[in-house]
A and B are shown apart, each in its own frame.
Chain A
Amino acid sequence: MPEKKEKTSWGRENCPYPAGAAYIECDEMKCTGCGICQMACSMKHYGVINKELSRIQVRKYILPLPKAIQVICAQCPDNERECEKACPIKPPAIYYDAKTRHIVIDEDRCLGQKCLHCREACSSKAIRIYPSISSKPFVCDLCDVDNIGDTRPECVDVCPFGAINFLERIEFPSIYESNDIMRRHADEKADLISKRLYPLTKYSTGYPGWR
């Protein structure tokens, strides 16, 4: 019988937590759609299991084969932070907290459901809203619920296929990192993945078909 391991993360490389600014990156090809990340997120932030209340989302497509694709806030760098730019409040109610190093939504100043310009601006729709719990949107805060800089993302710890990674943002001035390429809607990612199944279309599992 295999020995029980001490660490809580499993099935993946034993990566050290990033020291500086970091972000969550999802490997779409490894995701199988189990949704344990969603359960962990909603449990951490709201104390319930509700995949709709999760800041990481797993959407399922048929390309025509079934494929699960994750959606998560890319913690975009300065010049690419569309949500911040779109916020009508000045200074923005959704902003990147330089001290704690992740996106924060200031619920006191945020206009909530009436506005949602940030959500519209974000091409991956990573900003979520669940009106029956709160009129204010929510977004991945790297599990730093009290905004004190304690970032230990739960989803990264539980993913059985190592499809979610917590990586350091390189901040050296000579190396530019651009997350907006990652920041795509899952629908678009699905379309790209479906190219692997060329010449099949989503309408049939056979080509040219059997008719």
Chain B
Amino acid sequence: MLEVDLSNETSRIVDVTDDVKKYLGGRGLANKLLWDMVPPGTDPLGPENIIHFGVGPLTGLVGAKTVLSFKSPLTGWAGRSAVSGYFGEEVIKAQYNAGILVKGKSNKPVYLYIYDDVVEIRDASDLWGKWKQETEYILRERLNRETGEVFGVLCIGPAGENLVRYANVMTEAVHSASKWGSGAVMGSKNLKAVAVKGNKGPLYADHRQVWELYRYYATSPYTCVNKIEASRWGHTRSPSFLLRFACEGIKNNHLGYHEIAERSDYLAHYLKYFIWTDGCPGCTASCFVPFFKHNEQGAVCGDFRHDDLGGFNANIMVGYEEMAGITALVDELGMDSEEVGGLVAWAMDLYEHGIITREDLGGIDLKWGDAQATCELLKKIAYKDGRAPAALAEGFRRAYEVFGEESKWYAFEVHGCASATYDVRNKKAGNGLIYATSHNGARMGAGIISGLHEALTICIFLAGPLIQTWGSLEEASRLLLNASCGWDISTEEIKDISIRNYYFNRGISFRHGYHPSQEDFLPPRAFGEPITDKYGTTWVWDHNEFEAARKHYYTRNLGLSENGLLPENEMERLGLGFVIPELKSLGAIA
């Protein structure tokens, strides 16, 4: 692992082999780093926070995910973001198999330059202030002129620089590490970008075996079928369907269906604006389908992912046409579109009901469905310009203090994070229980299986074909890990790693103030505001029903106690005994 200290401007290589054997890489390893290096009470936007750019033994073989781990500025708990694109592969090719850890804080804007063994902390004052695209392009051009190589660059936009609590980190124009404020952590360290190039190549134990396995699943019929849908539609399709089934946000999650949903027309979007398919290294099912939209007003380009379309889009009463320009702007500013979408929808609701005024918004007439007004608000949020935008930049919980008690009922949040997508009231396909029991904040990516995905690092969109090829994720992981690492690991041990990483990550959240008894609820409207889908099905939660369902979810799906606590025996068995004393004192252990 490459460890970079921005305060002292030093770097060193750290051997973390034992930890990797126990936790794998990515988020798994980062749990140990967070436990060892970030004590409770640490300010997530201070120099004591760390950010780990995690890769694992399988990065570049099943997609190329980089998992960023840090203490989240939004929730204060264990935070993580995952980003694809070829950055992760460059880290593997530079042979930093356990990723890059950044700690401390630089006293001036810098970027990290890593070219195999050469590690430099370079001045980024001419890049500071630039938006995402400009930053990445200028840096890539400069490094290409210097070395002739194409570097992988992760960078933050103005939102990260200004410490918007859900700012993101982006690469290759359309790939983002969005959740829980990784961009703000980088911004707080004055780290504008990280640029990596690896020429050495991956360090596999048995290259031939890795290749045989890779070729087998990458060219399998299952991957082929996955490729057909992914390379054409990307992720634009599902929101169109989900919107009809009361499974996405419509008008700040007030409605189960509205005709605005029909304007999420993925076919029209594809036929008018699709330009080419792009993908990541190690993935033969490429799912990036950027759009290019050109009309009399100008031109805009970007890519729709589910996060732009589920909790934004119809949630602010627009369709795909308007969303194109909004998505591109969110990416340029460098913010999590899921979080900001929920917040903007909330702001529209508050504006309609007079809880915030036009003056609060800096003069914006924030009406439903107004894309222009939305774009103005997004810019103000990124720069914390104005009373309401500055409050929104801090996330729901801190904004309550500014907007007052009456704003709370309108907020559709779980754990202080926007829960607009996969409407929590939909018990069939919504994410109510997943969000409510997540120790990272309302989001998928906190369950047990993420303990494996994000430690191997594999892309979840390829997990399907992987499982179909080999029967289970554990079996697929076993084959690939043994070939790439030269281990003799069993599927039981892999299952254990998955659960270990999940418990550990949850333990870290506990340590930083999370407790299910205080946090694991759904917003009031989930119980008090039924929604009806296009076809007449109505969804709403009853309190007792929710308590029972949550208990069931804790015990059956997450392997926790009935109250969402960590099981002591299992923790001991999994080698997490060392965290028990402290967690016990926090009431985290059952």
Q: Judging by beta carbons under 8 Å apart, are A62 and B284 in contact?
A: no
Interface range, A side: 35 or more
Q: Judging by beta carbons under 8 Å apart, are A39 and B211 in contact?
A: yes
B470 within 8 A of A: no
Could you say which residues of chain B place their CB within 8 Å of the CB of A34?
A: 218, 279-284, 286
Known interface pairs A39-B214, A65-B292; A206-B329 also in contact (CB < 8 Å): yes
In the complex, per-residue mask of A54-69: 1 if CB is within 8 Å of any chain B CB, else 0: 0000011110111110
Q: Judging by beta carbons under 8 Å apart, are A49 and B85 in contact?
A: no
Could you say which residues of chain A place their CB within 8 Å of the CB of B276?
A: 29, 65, 67
A8-B60 Cα distance, complex, nearest whole Å: 22
Could you say which residues of chain A place their CB within 8 Å of the CB of B282?
A: 34-35
Q: Judging by beta carbons under 8 Å apart, are B134 and A204 in contact?
A: yes
Give the residue name and chain of the B residue nearest to A48 (CB).
B207
Q: Judging by beta carbons under 8 Å apart, are B301 and A67 in contact?
A: no
B461 within 8 A of A: no
Chain A interface mostly: loop
A16 within 8 A of B: no
User: What is the CB-to-nearest-CB distance from B511 to chain A, in angstroms, rounded to a whole number?
Assistant: 38
Residues 162-201 of A contacting B (Cβ, < 8 Å): 196-200
Could you say which residues of chain A place their CB within 8 Å of the CB of B290?
A: 65-66
Q: Judging by beta carbons under 8 Å apart, are A62 and B299 in contact?
A: no
From the candidates A3, A43, A48, A205, name the one contacting B301 in the complex (CB within 8 A).
Answer: A205
Give the residue name and chain of the A residue nearest to B153 (CB).
A62
A60-B286 Cα distance, complex, nearest whole Å: 14
Residues 108-124 of A contacting B (Cβ, < 8 Å): none
Q: Judging by beta carbons under 8 Å apart, are A196 and B329 in contact?
A: no
From the candidates B89, B210, B224, B379, name the one contacting A11 in the complex (CB within 8 A).
Answer: B224
A52-B90 Cα distance, complex, nearest whole Å: 11
Q: Judging by beta carbons under 8 Å apart, are B278 and A59 in contact?
A: no
A32 within 8 A of B: yes
From the candidates A2, A67, A207, name the one contacting B278 in the complex (CB within 8 A).
Answer: A67
Known interface pairs A10-B224, A206-B298, A206-B300; A32-B277 also in contact (CB < 8 Å): yes
A5-B222 Cα distance, complex, nearest whole Å: 12
Could you say which residues of chain B place their CB within 8 Å of the CB of A199?
A: 294, 298-299
Q: Judging by beta carbons under 8 Å apart, are B133 and A203 in contact?
A: yes
Q: Judging by beta carbons under 8 Å apart, are A158 and B215 in contact?
A: yes
User: What is the CB-to-nearest-CB distance from A209 to chain B, in angstroms, rounded to a whole number?
Assistant: 8
Residues 145-190 of B contacting A (Cβ, < 8 Å): 150, 172-175
A43-B214 Cα distance, complex, nearest whole Å: 12
Could you say which residues of chain B place their CB within 8 Å of the CB of A29?
A: 276
User: What is the CB-to-nearest-CB distance from B472 to chain A, in angstroms, rounded to a whole number?
Assistant: 17
Could you say which residues of chain A place their CB within 8 Å of the CB of B32?
A: none
Q: Judging by beta carbons under 8 Å apart, are A65 and B174 in contact?
A: yes
Q: Judging by beta carbons under 8 Å apart, are B288 and A2 in contact?
A: no
User: What is the CB-to-nearest-CB distance from A50 to chain B, in angstroms, rounded to a whole number?
Assistant: 3
B131 within 8 A of A: yes
A152 within 8 A of B: no
Could you say which residues of chain A place their CB within 8 Å of the CB of B325?
A: 206
A34-B279 Cα distance, complex, nearest whole Å: 6
Could you say which residues of chain A place their CB within 8 Å of the CB of B172?
A: 60, 62, 66
A21 within 8 A of B: no
B467 within 8 A of A: no
A8-B286 Cα distance, complex, nearest whole Å: 20
Known interface pairs A35-B281, A203-B134, A205-B133; A49-B211 also in contact (CB < 8 Å): yes
Q: Judging by beta carbons under 8 Å apart, are A50 and B201 in contact?
A: yes
Q: Judging by beta carbons under 8 Å apart, are B302 and A205 in contact?
A: yes
Could you say which residues of chain A place their CB within 8 Å of the CB of B304?
A: none
B576 within 8 A of A: no
A9-B331 Cα distance, complex, nearest whole Å: 38
B residues neighboring A (CB under 8 Å):
85-86, 89, 93, 131, 133-134, 136-138, 140, 150, 172-175, 199-202, 204, 207-208, 210-211, 214-215, 218-219, 221, 223-225, 227, 231, 275-286, 288, 290, 292, 294, 298-303, 325, 328-329, 331-332, 375, 379
11 additional contacts (CB under 8 A) given A36-B284, A161-B277: A36-B215, A49-B214, A60-B172, A64-B301, A65-B303, A66-B85, A158-B219, A160-B223, A160-B285, A204-B134, A204-B332
Listed by A's residue number, 9 A-B pairs whose Cβ atoms lie within 8 Å are A3-B221, A32-B278, A49-B204, A49-B214, A59-B150, A62-B173, A197-B301, A199-B294, A202-B133
